[in-house]
Amino acid sequence: MKKKWIWSIGIITIILLIIVAFVLRQTNSNSEEKDSYNTYKVETEHSLNLEGKASPHLVKTYNNNSQIGTYISTQVDDGQSVKQGDPLINYDINGNKRKQLANKVDEAQTSVNEDYQKINQSPSNNDLQKKLSQDQNTLNQAQQQLIQHDKQINDSVYAAFNGKVNIKKNDDISDGETIIQLVSNESEIKTAVSEFDLNKIKAGNKVDVKVASTGQKGEGQIKKISELPKSYESNLRESSASATTSISGDDNEGTSNPVENDPSGENDSESSKYTVVIGDIDIPVRAGYSMEIKVPLDSIKLPKTVLTKDNNVFVVNHEGKIKKRNIKIDKINGEIFVKDGLKKGEKLIKNPKKTMNNGDKVEVSS
């Protein structure tokens, strides 16, 4: 009887130990589950992918200009590479005209010099002061005429920039008819971004470019972002053309500089697009080539799940300890962007609890 009682106590003790062990295990398991958190690794946004067309940075047209002389011939071959300042067209320029203009400058300068000498002798003579003012105006006009003459010759004869020559016609050319087009060596790419991506880029950003047809890769830089949407620019160009046509039909002289009051042109159902010009391209790109552009973005975008109620975050270090950090954010189109306070690669607690404190050690599951 005594043996049975001992056996019963032993069995009960074993059962109790098993129950205690199970309870402890469940408690530990629940504790671990309670302190286990998912994390989010801070990353910059994916590159912005754009498409565009390559074009020359500059194209200059050289027309037959009879005002500087009689056209004789071109001084370059079709497709020839030239440098800024190289002569392109040969005119029979009337040298007497420049000589006459230069003589006028010399004569006006002599008169001014004489005026100063007389004023030094009679400083209180108002008539001499008036004559000096008149002679100075004459000198300024003569100098401007000479400068304009030289500029016209330079603009009609010499290469304005480095590029390649495209001869349109080289004989039997009427006055004002195109002789040469000079195409700059420097290329640029025009593309467009939507209003939702506009704030992600800025002038000066480096970009990766790729020629769609050949796969050749290179780099470039955003040179300009238009202030107005493309549709507004088109509308303003049409308005400007209409204003020019209207003035050309009038007897009034001068240039029109119209002011657009509440310019229109946008479709309310579509997002606006803005022209972006990319230059400083480090690979040769032929005009008209289709280009693929990638704009690396430095902006950091966060999911809502990592924010506390006061829009801060808990950062986890390599020891598993957390620290609450104040960050600055912007909310744009429903997305959260970090202005300051976080770096790429840092880990944040997802769904942080109110009870979390600086220095707490947590288990992370990812």
Instruction: Please report which helix (H) or strand (E) contains residue 248, including its range.
Output: helix 230-248
Burial 281-320 (b: 16+ CB within 10 A, else e): beeebeeebebbbebebebbbbeeebbeeeebbbbbeeee
The residues facing 361 across adjacent strands are 321
For residues 20 and 248, give the distance between their C-alpha atoms in angstroms, rounded to a whole number.
101
Q: Report helix, strand or coil for 137.
A: helix
Q: Return the domain boundaries, the chain.
A: 59-183
Tokens of 71: 């056209």
Distance CA 218, CA 210 (A): 6
Q: What's the one-letter identity of residue 59?
A: V
pTM (global) more than 0.75: no
Query: φ and ψ at 286, to 5 degrees?
Result: -80, 145
Per-residue pLDDT of the chain (366 residues; tens, 9 = 90+): 555 556 566 667 777 767 766 666 655 544 444 457 889 999 888 899 999 999 999 999 999 999 889 999 999 999 999 999 999 999 998 888 899 999 999 999 999 999 999 999 988 889 999 999 999 999 999 999 999 999 999 999 999 999 999 999 888 899 999 999 999 999 999 999 999 888 889 999 999 999 999 999 999 999 999 998 887 766 656 655 555 544 445 555 555 666 666 666 556 667 789 999 999 999 989 899 999 999 998 888 899 999 998 889 999 998 889 999 999 988 887 888 888 999 889 999 999 988 888 888 888 876
